[in-house]
Amino acid sequence: MKNSDNKKRGILSLLAVLAISGCGTAQADGIDRMDSDEFVRIINVEVARIETENFVEEIRLTATAVANQDVMVSAEESGVIREIFVDKGVQVESGAALAKIDDRVLAAQVEQARAVAELAGQTWERRKRLWEEDRIGSEIAYL
């Protein structure tokens, strides 16, 4: 019992000391004593002139962009790209040229096809002339 009474007295003493130390003086509260009956409260205020400035409305955020649609783009012909006409991420219309491929191989193939077509035309004319002049038809296959 005596031990619990000592604990109670110790706690009460501690609370009393804390309560008394919490009470401050007038100067600690920012109050200056002018006369015995008058108190003046001192408030620290800083005054500054208003100046005009340009206001830039800018918000910087970190985010991840996810496309609404994904599109696979493929070329009608294969080859090495020589020139790119649009930047990455730019919106383009359907059918617009995006890049130019190295067309030297394709140009050679076109020239070869023209030569074959010309040869076929010459052969056709020769066979037509032989048929009309000499009525030679089946023997041409052996030439």
Mean residue pLDDT of the chain comes to 79
d(CA 132, CA 129): 5
The model's confidence at residue 65, banded by pLDDT at 50, 70 and 90, is confident
Higher-confidence residue of 36 and 44: namely 44
Q: What is the pLDDT of residues 82-120, one digit of tens each?
A: 899 999 888 888 888 888 888 888 889 999 999 999 999
Residue 56: per-residue pLDDT: 83
Q: The whole model's pTM is what? A: 0.34
Number of H helices, E strands in the chain: 2, 4
Displacement of CA 14 from its chain's centroid (Å): 63
